[in-house]
């Protein structure tokens, strides 16, 4: 069987949520199924490290698809041409985009419908494209995979896709995320926070990630607690960054907030592993991989009580109202003052981690692909 795959988000040094899902599942699927040929469709020159085995044929498909007009050209003109040229039996798209101009069966991965819940957080051109085409993509796909039970229900309710046509394929966390020794933690803290304990946030700096309320909560926490605790924010600026920049410059305790930008996984796993706790007060997530990454490191978490996050967190995290900086601050205070609580959350994490791993994810995605192909 020839399986064409949308791999345009496999970008060196820029792998984030969807990119990591694509990387981790495809690597395992390709190696587990040498009897099949995989055609990886890139929209720019690719890194050879993404060509996982001899049964992968990389193809650069123009134009680079980074704008709605170019999305349309790529998926409705270029991709159908390549599917015909390589006589593909199945098209796997891992980023929520599909083609309405091909009869090749499509297995579509939809991670979340955040743009439906918080349309104001997105650039108008992208939002209009997604809100028009996403329902059409979902209904045209032979089968859909999504990363949480919450997202499965959301897709069903909003787009009318039958529940029995949607498979849950959870995310996992990279093996690099492991508990650190005391000495390793001290080295990381010396590098990033002058030796002080810190809360950490990891993710793109985007309105949906709720950075403004996180900063307000940290200020409230610092005003209440006389402590050297820092806040480390890991991630690249994304959309609508101006408000964050303004608060970053004007907020009290601004010197206690460390902005480290995007970090590769070798560094990010260390920063996560040395943290006192993860604070992940996102407004909406289809999954929330950083929660799982923290758990694998033996780091407790404060996470939002919305969307998929309680499903991922289980009983290994404190839940907060992301719309209320006071509640986020109260959870930070509670975790800081109660070592028994912190120890209990850490002890609960391994059982929660066992529910999510990339090997299981790859198997579930493969099963979904085979259903889409009618196998």
Percentage of residues of the chain with pLDDT beyond 90: 90
pLDDT tier, 283 (very low <50, low <70, confident <90, very high otherwise): very high
For residue 239, the model assigns a pLDDT of: 66
Helix (H, G, I), strand (E, B) or coil at 231: strand
Please tell me the class of the 2-172+357-372 domain.
Answer: alpha beta
Q: What is the mean pLDDT of residues 214-226?
A: 95
Percentage of residues of the chain with pLDDT beyond 70: 99
Q: Give the integer Cα–Cα distance in Å for 28 and 24.
A: 7
Residue 82 in this model has a pLDDT that exceeds 90? yes
Q: What is the mean pLDDT of residues 108-116?
A: 96
Residue 240 in this model has a pLDDT that exceeds 70? no
Strand arrangement, sheet containing 257-261: 257-261, 230-234, 198-202, 277-280, 301-304, 317-320
- This model's pTM is above 0.85: yes
Q: Give the integer Cα–Cα distance in Å for 113 and 284.
A: 9
Q: Please, is 63 exposed, middle or buried when counting C-beta atoms within 10 Å of its C-beta (0-12, 13-18, 19+)?
A: middle
For residue 123, the model assigns a pLDDT of: 87
Average pLDDT across the chain, whole number: 96
Q: How many CB atoms lie within 10 A of CB 267?
A: 16
Q: What is the mean pLDDT of residues 30-50?
A: 97
Which residue matches tokens 């069966």? 105
For residue 343, the model assigns a pLDDT of: 96
Q: Please, is 297 exposed, middle or buried when counting C-beta atoms within 10 Å of its C-beta (0-12, 13-18, 19+)?
A: buried
Query: Could you report the per-residue pLDDT of 141-187, keeping only the tens digit for each?
Result: 999 999 999 999 999 999 999 999 999 999 999 899 999 999 999 99
pLDDT tier, 16 (very low <50, low <70, confident <90, very high otherwise): confident
Q: What is the mean pLDDT of residues 305-327?
A: 97
Q: Give the integer Cα–Cα distance in Å for 270 and 328.
A: 24
N-terminal to C-terminal alpha carbon distance within the chain: 11
In the chain the beta strands, taken as DSSP E runs, fall at 2-6, 37-42, 56-60, 90-93, 106-109, 143-146, 166-168, 198-202, 230-234, 257-261, 277-280, 301-304, 317-320
pLDDT tier, 32 (very low <50, low <70, confident <90, very high otherwise): very high
pLDDT tier, 130 (very low <50, low <70, confident <90, very high otherwise): very high
Query: Could you report the per-residue pLDDT of 243-269, keeping only the tens digit for each?
Result: 888 898 899 999 999 999 999 999 999
Kindly report the CATH number that applies to the domain delimited by 182-353: 3.40.50.2000
326-331: long-range pairs with CB below 8 Å, 24+? 326/217, 326/220, 328/213, 328/214, 328/216, 328/217, 328/279, 328/281, 328/302, 329/216, 329/217, 329/218, 329/220, 329/221, 329/224, 331/302
Residues of the chain with CATH 3.40.50.2000: 2-172+357-372, 182-353
Q: How many CA within 13 A on the CB side of residue 147?
A: 29
């Amino acid at each position: 069987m020839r399986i064409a795959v949308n791999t345009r988000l496999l970008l060196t040094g820029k792998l984030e949520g969807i990119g990591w899902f694509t990387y981790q599942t495809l690597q395992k699927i390709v190696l587990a199924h040498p009897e099949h040929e995989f055609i990886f469709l890139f929209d720019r020159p690719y890194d050879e490290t993404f060509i996982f085995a001899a049964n992968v044929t990389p193809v650069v498909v123009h134009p680079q698809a980074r704008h709605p007009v170019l999305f349309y050209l790529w998926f409705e003109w270029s991709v159908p041409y390549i599917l015909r040229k390589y006589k593909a039996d199945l098209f796997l798209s891992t980023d929520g985009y599909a083609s309405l101009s091909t009869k090749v069966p499509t297995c579509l991965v939809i991670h979340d419908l955040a743009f439906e819940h918080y349309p104001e957080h997105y650039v108008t051109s992208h939002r209009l494209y997604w809100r028009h085409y996403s329902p059409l993509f979902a209904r045209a796909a032979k089968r859909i995979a999504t990363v949480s039970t919450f997202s499965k229900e959301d897709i069903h309710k909003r787009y009318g896709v039958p529940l029995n046509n949607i498979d849950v394929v959870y995310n996992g966390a990279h093996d690099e995320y492991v508990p650190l020794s005391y000495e390793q933690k001290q080295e990381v803290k010396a590098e990033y926070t002058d030796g002080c304990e810190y809360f950490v946030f990891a993710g793109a700096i985007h309105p949906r990630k709720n950075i403004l309320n996180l900063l307000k909560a940290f200020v409230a926490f610092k005003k209440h607690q006389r402590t050297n605790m820092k806040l480390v924010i890991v991630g690249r600026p994304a959309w609508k960054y101006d408000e964050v920049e303004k608060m970053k410059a004007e907020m009290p305790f601004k010197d206690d907030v460390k902005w480290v930008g995007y970090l590769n996984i070798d560094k990010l796993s260390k920063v996560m592993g040395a943290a006192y706790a993860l604070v992940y007060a996102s407004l909406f997530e289809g999954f929330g991989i950083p929660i799982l990454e923290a758990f694998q490191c033996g780091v407790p978490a404060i996470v939002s009580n919305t969307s998929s996050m309680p499903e991922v967190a289980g009983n290994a995290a404190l839940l907060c109202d992301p719309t209320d900086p006071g509640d986020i601050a109260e959870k930070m205070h509670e975790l800081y003052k109660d070592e028994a609580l912190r120890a209990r959350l850490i002890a609960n994490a391994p059982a929660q981690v066992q529910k999510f791993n990339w090997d299981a994810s790859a198997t579930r995605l493969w099963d979904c692909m085979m259903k889409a192909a009618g196998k």
